[in-house]
Amino acid sequence: MSKPVRFDVISDIQGDMADLDVALAAFAEFTVADQLLINGDLTDNGRVRQYKDLTKHLAATAHPPALFTIGNHDFYNHRSTAVSIDRFLEHTGMSSLYSAHEVGGVPIIRLGTTDGSERSGHYVIFGEEQLIWFATELARHAAEVPVVVLSHHVLPNTVSGSFDDPVTQAPKMYGHDYAEVDPVLEILGAHPNVLFLSGHSHWNLYWPDWFSRPSFAAANTGAIQRGFGPDGSGGEQPLDGPHNQGLRIVVEGGTVTVHALDFVNRRVAHTAEFSVSEQSVIMTDGVAWSDALG
Ligand SMILES: [Fe+2]
């Protein structure tokens, strides 16, 4: 049996350093993961002092090596896209906006928007070069190898908030995040071995639709900073009360287990398990905190 490869996943920190500290401490309490994945909205406004604060807090708690993606908030500094991307690269140590990695034999693909202006009406424009690279990169891997894809924004009909029901979802919010949504879904649709991780929505991981497997698999990475849920009329509203969530992923051979973690109550909200060779997903509730992180 192959050795398990563990990933800790968080996103949407947005200046909430107290909750970041709690999440990192929780991860550090149990079996140390092989890689930390931080999926965008690292800062509230992409300011240098916010990146420095993030770096300070990440350094204060022992954690696995980290990979980062860029989020829309990391562009909210009233500077150009180029300045924001340069800051992201400088302070995260990432060599480029998008890249491929391998952790314990598990391929990881980071994606990032080349335009943070939102002038197109979309948060994400990958551009032709990145799309071709992405398709080529996915094609390199055998169908029986799970591939983790990190992208900050939500794809339609994948995770909470992104479905069409105007009462229980937010179709006004999450249908247009990606300018190139059709080619992205076409590329992903050819690879059932992909686990696509998106943050951005801050929708609570207790929602049963936090995970789906339309053909590839998709999981909401939750949010460190505040929660959101439906407003009942196609949009969303912030949730009352404390909120701090993330994922622990375990890959073992062709099997992927994803635990949705609630750092406030130290509870596992849900667990999803799937095999790359099957479309079915086993959903479990009630996994013990120490078992998920052990
Ligand atoms: Fe975001």
Distance 252 CA to ligand 1 centre (A): 30
108 forms beta bridges with: 101, 148
Site of tokens 């635990």: 259
CA gap 197, 76 in Å, rounded? 22
SS (H, E, C) 150-180: ECCCCCCCCCCCCCCCCCCCCHHHHCCCECC
Give residue-wise pLDDT tens across range 179-238.
Answer: 999 999 999 999 999 999 999 999 999 999 999 999 999 999 999 999 999 999 999 999
Domains of the chain: residue spans and CATH:
5-293 (3.60.21.10)
CA of 178 to the centre of ligand 1 (A): 12
Band of residue 64 on the pLDDT scale cut at 50, 70, 90: very high
Q: Ligand 1 centroid vs 47 CA: distance in angstroms?
A: 15
Residue 102 CA, ligand 1 centroid: distance in Å: 25
What kind and span of H or E run contains 108? strand 106-110
Is it the case that residue 71 has pLDDT exceeding 80? yes
In whole angstroms, give the CA distance from residue 283 to residue 28: 26
In angstroms, what is the span from residue 278 Cα to ligand 1's centroid?
A: 31
Tell me how far the alpha carbon of residue 142 lies from the centroid of ligand 1, in angstroms: 32
Give residue 73 CA to ligand 1 midpoint distance, Å. 6
Measure 144 CA to ligand 1 centroid, in angstroms: 31
Using one digit for the tens of pLDDT, what is the confidence trace for 148-157?
Answer: 999 999 999 9
Question: How many angstroms is it from 253 CA to the middle of ligand 1?
Answer: 32
Distance 72 CA to ligand 1 centre (A): 5
Give the environment of ion ligand 1: residues with CB less than 5 A.
Answer: 41, 71-72, 200
Q: Are 293 and 268 in contact (CB under 8 A)?
A: no
Q: Angle at CA 89, nearest 5°, toward 87 and 92? A: 100
| Ligand 1 centroid distance, CA of 282 (Å) | 29
Band (1; pLDDT cuts 50, 70, 90): low
The helix (H) or strand (E) run that includes residue 236 is strand 236-238
Residue 2 has a pLDDT of 81
Instruction: For residue range 16-43, list pLDDT tens digits in order.
Output: 999 999 999 999 999 999 999 999 999 9
23 contact partners, CB below 8 Å, separation of at least 6: 10, 224, 244, 246, 263
Distance from Cα 238 to the centre of ligand 1, integer Å: 14
Q: How many whole angstroms from 176 Cα to the centroid of ligand 1?
A: 13
- Going by the DSSP 8-state scheme, the letter that residue 95 receives in this structure is S
285 C-alpha to ligand 1 centroid (Å):
27
User: How many angstroms is it from 137 CA to the middle of ligand 1?
Assistant: 25
Residue 42 Cα to ligand 1 midpoint, Å, equals: 9
